[in-house]
Amino acid sequence: KNRMPTDDVTISNEYYQVEFDGVSGQIKTIKNVKTGIQTAVNQSFYWYNSSIGNNINSSQASGAYIFRPNSSKVFPVNSNDNKAKIVNMYENDLLSEVHQQFAPWLTQVVRLYKRIPAIELEYTVGPIPVRDGLGKEIISRFNSDLSSDSVWYTDANGREMQKR
């Protein structure tokens, strides 16, 4: 179906509804369809400047499986306030998905499978631009209005959830 570029986009299954802001292209809200509970969510991508391993405290450089930025300052992946472009939206009997582009080298697909109580976010990074001479550690940052006492969980490569 046709939509205006600034219209909000919504995908849903039996369990979740994910709404995307038509202007920013970012996830706007996530709603649990069964309970009716909805939360505001914002996801942005940033990068840290990579460590080259030449400081006094450590000679370990950033690299494969080593996340070691040289400072705590983050930079947005684009110059457009981390806005995303909604490139495509697909819906069929098996799934609903939205394709986002945050930078020419960073895209994401947000996917809801029918009859599965999960929201899948599949991002693709690269090739990372390095013509500026800076190595980059890419991160995804989520902000929400959830009250969690600063407790959150991450997936340890599909093996188990880790309390952070």
135-162 tens-digit pLDDT: 899 999 999 998 889 888 887 666 788 8
4-19 tens-digit pLDDT: 778 899 999 999 999 9
Beta bridge partner(s), residue 45: 140
> In terms of Cα–Cα distance, which of 4, 18, 147 is closest to 91?
18
What pLDDT score was predicted for residue 80?
A: 86
> In terms of Cα–Cα distance, which of 127, 135, 163 is closest to 148?
163
> In terms of Cα–Cα distance, which of 43, 44, 45, 53 is closest to 135?
53
pTM attached to this predicted model: 0.86
Whether 90 shows a pLDDT value over 80: the answer reads: yes
Average pLDDT (53-80) is 79
> Are the C-beta atoms of residues 161 and 154 closer than 8 Å to each other?
yes
Q: How confident is the model at residue 94 (pLDDT cuts 50, 70, 90)?
A: very high
110-126 tens-digit pLDDT: 999 999 999 999 999 99
> Are the C-beta atoms of residues 74 and 46 closer than 8 Å to each other?
yes
Q: Work out whether strand 95-103 and strand 27-32 pair parallel, antiparallel, or are unpaired.
A: unpaired
Q: How confident is the model at residue 163 (pLDDT cuts 50, 70, 90)?
A: confident
